[in-house]
Structure 1
Amino acid sequence: MNGHRDPRYYSPEEEELTTLNGYHGVQNPPTSPSNFDFEFHDIPSPRPVVPFRPGHTQSPGPGNRNSPPEYGSPGWLHPNRTSDVPETWMNSPYESRSTSPTLYQNTPVQQSLQSLVAPLVNTPGSPGYAKEWVQAGSASIARINDRDDADIWKGWKRWVFFFTPFLTFANTSIYLFYLGLRIYCIIMAQREADVTYAGAWVFVAIEIAVAIPSLMHNCWTMLALKKRGRPKLRLTGNDCPTVDVFVTCCGEEDELVLDTVRGALNQDYPSDRFRVIVLDDGKSAILEDMINQLKPAHSNAFYMAREKIPGKPHHFKAGNLNYGLDEVHKLPGGAGEFMAALDADMIPEQDWLRAVVPHLLVDPKMALACPPQLFYNTPASDPLAQSLDFFVHVIEPIKDALGVAWCTGSGYVVRRVALDEIGNFPLGSLAEDVATSTLMLGKGWKTAYIHEPLQFGTVPEDYGGHLKQRTRWAIGTVDTAFKLKFCIWGDAVRRMTIAQRFSGFLYATLSLYTLLLTASLFAIPIILLWGKQLVAYANDTELHWLIWACFAATLSNRLCEFALFIPAGYNTGQRGSRYQLWMSPYIALCIVRSFMLPKWLGGQTQAFKPTGSLGSALNERDPKTRKNILVRLRVILFNFMALFHFAFVYVTLVAVVISSYRCFYVAHGFKDVVKCLITHAFWPPLTFLFICTSLWTPVSYAIDPPSMPEREDLLARDPKTGVAHPTTKSKKIAFGGQAAWFELQYTVSTVATILIFVYSFFW
């Protein structure tokens, strides 16, 4: 997953996009490592990574990139290494160690890994990171806690979350029983009345369609039974491995990028062991001057901008990163052993490198380690579900436990040798991060998810930017899945485990599933206006069983949601459920355009693009400069196609009113009216209400957008160094009125389900 990036990275006007037939790599010079094509031909043997060499100022050209390393003097060099590392160290990386760091290089394969195995200390570290740990001498690794997320959530929450797999299994079983009972009762009702209940069949089909994503997620969630045991580690001492930190940007505000660069330079990591390299695809002369002004105080700061020839594919962010991977060989000392990447807006915490790097050091097969993407400008209630809290706090830890952690797009640290083996970052993908980690897993490498708050960035501050970001992710995931054959077969995924293949298949399928979900949404107002009975049954006994089964499924689902959402927060999880509904039409539309429509009918691989000309930005979150409500409604309803959401809600509510009127008009007696209402429009848990409130999100956002302060007001800036970090308050999502409204709606539907259940005993 990627943070907020400039749209120009992905603009089809800026460069040619690839087709479904495969990725098209650029033709690299003979010395370039970027020889990966996405038809997965054999890749040349990886080039050894040259460590930084003290006193070496000549640019290592093609003839000397693989020159033997020179050690013996201080500067940009790897720590001293020997080849007598006990094999047990590799098999038990988290045990205590007491010797100096060594290089495990007994065989050519092991030598190519060039992994620094650092010792773990027996004495427990302080609760948090402390600068006094940085001492002269050999590096070591302190084990701070048995869990890397020990400071994020703990206590009773962990005990409740432990039961999530069992609750999920129970909920899934009950719901499948309920669906089976629904189908059985329709069949029995048709035999009894000798008619076809078309409305009931359509309604149960919609229920199944809406339930499929939840059922698929339930299958994945049940795997949380496998305990995740990634510890919280810190690299101590000043004899650390070398790291090239890339900050990628393309037209973002210069001050935004500079804050990220300052945060990266301010790492509590030996300054002669890492470099911060700005890879600017926007070629900002102002930004270049800003970086040059930092060099007197930070000699490890560099600025690079590649030449982008019009008409020649530039391959988005992956092309920019690959350019940096090649160019660092020309810097004094050559390339670092590890490469790290930060998005332009992602400000790293001071202990970022010391927290992530050790997870790569203790395991020579660990190719990539990444922390979550967190944000400091998320508005109260997070109306568009822009925070990734559910994904980063629930889904990613489960995936990590099963050995299938995804690269999150920013803040990650990767082993250069592993990148060499897959031919550097894959070209031609809108989701180069997902493709990179997947290809590494397919080669037998490991990936790790570090569940610590180590970086904070910004979410898109406008509705259009949010749509473009999320549809780009969806298209990139599906595109990568097609080219990797959904991680089911092929040379690229040959060494994947069953869990890793299932994960790749699941998340690509969920994106494609938005097509079916969107189609089912169209059917809801139609069947309500149709006036047909939605729930068919042969007698009152069957109706009783249907209500009881529905009650059990609803309550078990509520309980399961509460337990599952605990790491991210209950309201965050509910926002995610609503987000899947209202975003489905946008994602489905982009998938149709990208993978189904021919070019002559408007098909092209791109994220959501608004219709017409917007004229000017809405500035909807700035209370001083935001456009008035009429302009906001016009742009979001028409240019951003939320008119579908608006029409759906109103047609559905009108259909509910008409259906209810028919019940009062046709039925006789209180009991018959209640039965009619339940089986025609108000079947628990009032699904239409949840769908309507979810799809109303774009309209409510246009009417009453959240107000946000200036970015500077969300930061605590050091007046001397200019280094800024988000304030404690800005890192948290405030509970706002919209969250309260949705909780009220959820409570009403739950109470209605209970009342219908109780009343069923009285007829």
Structure 2
Amino acid sequence: MNGHYGPYGQAPYGYGAHEDPEEMVELNAAHPAYRNPNGSFDFQFNDMPSPGLASPRPVIPYRAGHMAHEDYNSPYSSPNPGWLQPTPRSSTGPDSFSYGATPYDSRSASPTLYHNSQVGQSHQSLTHLVDSPSSPGLSKEWVKSGSIARINDRDDAEIWKGWKRVLFAFTPFLTFTNTAVYFFYLGLRIYCIISAQNAAGVSYAGAWVFVSIEFAVAIPSLMHNCWTMMALKKRGRPRLRLTGNDCPTVDVFITCCGEDDEVVLDTARGALDQDYPGDRFRVIILDDGKSATLEECVNQMSVNHPNLFYMAREKIPGKPHHFKAGNLNYGLDAVHYLPGGAGQFMAALDADMIPEQEWLRAILPHLLVDPKMALACPPQLFYNTPDSDPLAQSLDFFVHVIEPIKDAMHVAWCTGSGYVVRREALDEIGNFPLGSLAEDVATSTLMLGKGWKTAYIHEPLQFGTVPDDFGSHLKQRTRWAIGTVDTAFKLKFCLWGDAVKQMTFAQRFSGFLYATLSLYTLLLTASLFAIPIILLWGKQLVAYANQEQLHWLIWACFATTIVNRLCEFTLFIPAGYHTGQRGSRYQLWMSPYIALCIVRSFILPRWLGGQTQAFKPTGSLSSALNERDPKQRKNLFVRLRVILFNYMAFFHLAFVYVTLVAVVITTYKCFATQTTFKGIVVCMITHAFWPPLTFLFLCTSLWTPVSYAIDPPSVPDREDLLKRDPKTAIAHPTKKSKKIAFGGQAAWFELEYTVATTATVLIFAYSFFF
């Protein structure tokens, strides 16, 4: 099947890169206020505010004197002190999908809050769209002030081009061929087992178990292949730029909670350094950690940046605060009480995501040219990814392959940072949904369900940091997976209900597919347990009635392997071949962690240890490993102890050990029981070495946490990865840090793939001689 699913066609899970600045906050969703009596979450979607309720004025800890920066010529200013007064909510009541009233009010169309801005008609604020052909730059002859320039027919023209595009166009056809060949192979396997049983009068239990595993874990891959084949339509999103000073107003939220002050401040400086009129946007730091030092630093910066604000909401003990979604909703309501009211658009950045200077000018045009475009989002890219990316922390495969395919089918997800959203669309869905660990995916899904559009802008417009330790990586990815599944349950897997009423078939299928892929980690993990068992069992894994059937089985396996390799190469092109292969290995070694958290969250009752939260290590972690700092990392013994036992990688170690022992025993038996070269070869390939040597790929993939503990990568200090202006302190990642270096680990795995493919070819060739 498609290469990024691995040798068994295992499916990706947890896609949806919703970075959460509350990384260090315990996801204690087991709190009684979060759960229904049956132990499930309350998922609070609010299409419209409750009827007849006035919004109470929030307590906003603005810095002293900040309101003095009022400019009556600014779209954010109000000559009428009436901006301080709340406006009654709409009288429209919630629909059947509303699970509870939100305490937040978005009122983006309130006439008392806007004077120079036409919020209800944001798409009309810029009416000039230049329909000229592609241009290498912003030519003065055809770009006018206040217009939208089309500078290329493709937004990703500078990311990948040339022969790569030509070859990638064959991906759907290769996927179709791969699917057809794989179905033929599985059908032939089943036919040969039945024939062998009829001929010998015995049951080939091992062969049935082996083919069942192959078929079971191929189901999600087959589903994703259907999705890939649906994307025959070429994606044609252009590269646009908003020019001139006639720009809409934007509230840029930076959500944070406990991150280092300097990390947040670097993001704030990057946001303030936008190539955008300073009186048309503001940067609001929403600090859920209430850091006194951060507030002081922001106060100092605001002296030179009057469009910078600091806010920290009050958290009442015992009352759910809904983490990032609650923080964003607080900001959406709070900006109404700033001079001029709320902006026409809202943008959000994670605490560590430094935007490029053209970020706003690149994203906003896609919202302005289409009044039904609710949200536009760029990829999340990173600048501190270690060489070879051993834990597959970069999201390159998702952002360069999966999201463009989804965008071509009009199913772009909000990926959590860097997005710009239309306030009217947020109003219609009742702001960010509460009670979800994946509020970004839920938000974009609800917008699609209301008939809005979403866009994915495939340009490198923001760069952040990946977790710098193994534990944080596990917590982040398991939270994503739990959030995706939890959201799917509450949205009925996007198959029916008022919340998805206006979704297209492709949008519904996408929502169902990616939630199902997360659940299939349970089946994948079960198959991993079964593989060493059936190898130790010593039974024949590939059954056949005669020599001719064995020939056909080998030929079909050879065809499946080669076509799969071609699919890998073409499908991985936008992200890079090695990136895709890392993703295949990641899905294998990460599946036990994902499966464990899904069982705890959605299957086990609370009295048996059920809890809806991300992966939580056992034992004490009072001492950080600092594994990526060559000067401060703990010694080898400590790293192995923590990762093997606290982070449960002993399963990975046991799997590799038992599997290799089983392969050695099987090999010994073949040499002991067979007297001819042909007999030894046939015995080995039908018991353990069936091409493409699947056990080798499984062992090297499951070994990842252990190898990481033994030899963790070294990453330079964050400051060494940035280029900082000595006068303004504005920092952006260096060109080198934006790319993942090719290291020794990637070379080793490429050698492994080469050996497995070569063995498959040799077995195929030898089959003609016996």
- TM-score w.r.t. the length of structure 2 is 0.89
Q: 1:273 to 1:308 in 2, by over 3 A?
A: same
Which residue number in structure 1 is paired with residue 228 of structure 2?
A: 221
Superposed displacement of residue 238, structure 1: 0.5
Which residue number in structure 2 is paired with residue 574 of structure 1?
A: 581
Superposed displacement of residue 249, structure 1: 0.2
Aligned equivalent of 2:53, options 7, 12, 30: 30
Q: How far, CA to CA, are the matches of 2:515 and 2:330 in structure 1?
A: 29
Aligned equivalent of 2:549, options 542, 549, 570: 542
Q: How does 1:248-287 map to 2 (within 5 A)?
A: 248-287=255-294
Superposed displacement of residue 368, structure 1: 0.2
Which residue number in structure 2 is paired with residue 93 of structure 1?
A: none
Equivalent residue of 1:430, what SS? coil
Q: 1:643 to 1:421 in 2, by over 3 A?
A: same
Is 2:130 the partner of 1:121? yes
Aligned equivalent of 1:2, options 18, 28, 32: 18
Aligned equivalent of 1:68, options 111, 136, 160: 111
Q: Look up the equivalent residue of 1:68 and give its one-letter code.
A: P
Q: Look up the equivalent residue of 1:8 and give its one-letter code.
A: M
Q: How far, CA to CA, are the matches of 1:709 and 1:197 in structure 2?
A: 55
Q: How does 1:94-243 map to 2 (within 5 A)?
A: 115-121=124-130, 127=136, 138-243=145-250
Equivalent residue of 1:414, what SS? strand
Q: How far, CA to CA, are the matches of 1:417 and 1:387 in structure 2?
A: 33
Aligned equivalent of 2:420, options 391, 413, 420: 413
Aligned equivalent of 2:642, options 632, 635, 643: 635
Which residue number in structure 2 is paired with residue 532 of structure 1?
A: 539
Superposed displacement of residue 747, structure 1: 0.6
Q: Look up the equivalent residue of 1:510 and give its one-letter code.
A: L
* CA offsets 1:17-64 (integer angstroms, 9 cap, x no match): 445363157999934499xxxxxxxxxxxxxxx974454555432248
Structure 1 runs not aligned, ≥5 long: 35-49, 82-102, 104-110
Which residue number in structure 2 is paired with residue 744 of structure 1?
A: 751
Q: How does 1:652-691 map to 2 (within 5 A)?
A: 652-691=659-698
Equivalent residue of 2:258, what SS? coil
Q: Look up the equivalent residue of 1:528 and give its one-letter code.
A: L
Q: 1:511 to 1:253 in 2, by over 3 A?
A: same
Q: How does 1:106-505 map to 2 (within 5 A)?
A: 115-121=124-130, 127=136, 138-505=145-512
Q: Look up the equivalent residue of 2:697 and give its one-letter code.
A: F
Structure 2 runs not aligned, ≥5 long: 1-16, 58-73, 89-106
Q: 1:596 to 1:337 in 2, by over 3 A?
A: same
* CA offsets 1:284-329 (integer angstroms, 9 cap, x no match): 0111111111112111000000001111101010000000000000
Q: How far, CA to CA, are the matches of 2:645 and 2:318 in structure 1?
A: 32
Q: Look up the equivalent residue of 2:227 and give its one-letter code.
A: W
Q: How far, CA to CA, are the matches of 2:159 and 2:623 in structure 1?
A: 41
Q: 1:70 to 1:520 in 2, by over 3 A?
A: closer
Contact 1:33–1:423 (CA under 8 A) maintained in structure 2: no
Counting matched residue pairs gives 712
Equivalent residue of 1:195, what SS? coil
Contact 2:29–2:612 (CA under 8 A) maintained in structure 1: no
Contact 1:346–1:457 (CA under 8 A) maintained in structure 2: yes
Is 2:592 the partner of 1:585? yes
Q: Look up the equivalent residue of 1:634 and give its one-letter code.
A: R
Q: How far, CA to CA, are the matches of 1:261 and 1:474 in structure 2?
A: 29
Across the aligned residues of Structure 1 and Structure 2, the Cα RMSD in angstroms comes to 2.3
Q: 1:57 to 1:707 in 2, by over 3 A?
A: farther
Contact 1:533–1:680 (CA under 8 A) maintained in structure 2: yes
Q: Look up the equivalent residue of 1:732 and give its one-letter code.
A: K
Superposed displacement of residue 515, structure 1: 0.3
Q: 1:244 to 1:733 in 2, by over 3 A?
A: same
Superposed displacement of residue 577, structure 1: 0.6
Which residue number in structure 2 is paired with residue 623 of structure 1?
A: 630
Q: Considering Cα pairs closer than 8 Å and 6+ residues apart, tell me whether 1 or 2 has the greater RCO.
A: 2
Superposed displacement of residue 225, structure 1: 1.1
Q: Look up the equivalent residue of 1:259 and give its one-letter code.
A: D
Q: 1:21 to 1:701 in 2, by over 3 A?
A: closer
* CA offsets 1:670-717 (integer angstroms, 9 cap, x no match): 101100000000000001110110000000000000000000000000
Equivalent residue of 2:151, what SS? strand
Contact 2:18–2:441 (CA under 8 A) maintained in structure 1: no
- TM-score w.r.t. the length of structure 1 is 0.90
Q: Look up the equivalent residue of 2:111 and give its one-letter code.
A: P
Q: How far, CA to CA, are the matches of 1:631 and 1:433 in structure 2?
A: 37
Superposed displacement of residue 2, structure 1: 2.0
Q: How far, CA to CA, are the matches of 1:486 and 1:123 in structure 2?
A: 42
Equivalent residue of 1:275, what SS? strand
Contact 1:223–1:398 (CA under 8 A) maintained in structure 2: no
* CA offsets 1:732-752 (integer angstroms, 9 cap, x no match): 000000000111111100000
Q: 1:436 to 1:122 in 2, by over 3 A?
A: closer
Q: How far, CA to CA, are the matches of 2:138 and 2:733 in structure 1?
A: 18
Identity of aligned residues (%): 77
Superposed displacement of residue 3, structure 1: 2.8
Q: Look up the equivalent residue of 2:430 and give its one-letter code.
A: G
Contact 1:4–1:345 (CA under 8 A) maintained in structure 2: no
Q: How far, CA to CA, are the matches of 1:126 and 1:25 in structure 2?
A: 44
* CA offsets 1:453-480 (integer angstroms, 9 cap, x no match): 0000000000000000000000000000
Q: How far, CA to CA, are the matches of 2:605 and 2:287 in structure 1?
A: 34
Contact 2:130–2:142 (CA under 8 A) maintained in structure 1: no
* CA offsets 1:337-366 (integer angstroms, 9 cap, x no match): 100000000000000000000000000000
Q: How far, CA to CA, are the matches of 1:673 and 1:644 in structure 2?
A: 32
Q: How far, CA to CA, are the matches of 1:207 and 1:588 in structure 2?
A: 19
* CA offsets 1:550-576 (integer angstroms, 9 cap, x no match): 000000000011000000000000000
Q: How far, CA to CA, are the matches of 1:591 and 1:57 in structure 2?
A: 52
Superposed displacement of residue 129, structure 1: 7.5
Superposed displacement of residue 128, structure 1: 5.8
Q: 1:437 to 1:63 in 2, by over 3 A?
A: closer
Q: How far, CA to CA, are the matches of 2:468 and 2:138 in structure 1?
A: 32
Superposed displacement of residue 638, structure 1: 0.2
Superposed displacement of residue 138, structure 1: 5.0
Superposed displacement of residue 221, structure 1: 1.4
Which residue number in structure 2 is paired with residue 43 of structure 1?
A: none
Equivalent residue of 1:357, what SS? helix
* CA offsets 1:415-434 (integer angstroms, 9 cap, x no match): 00100000000001000000
Is 2:540 the partner of 1:516? no
Q: How far, CA to CA, are the matches of 1:291 and 1:434 in structure 2?
A: 30
Q: How far, CA to CA, are the matches of 1:379 and 1:67 in structure 2?
A: 48
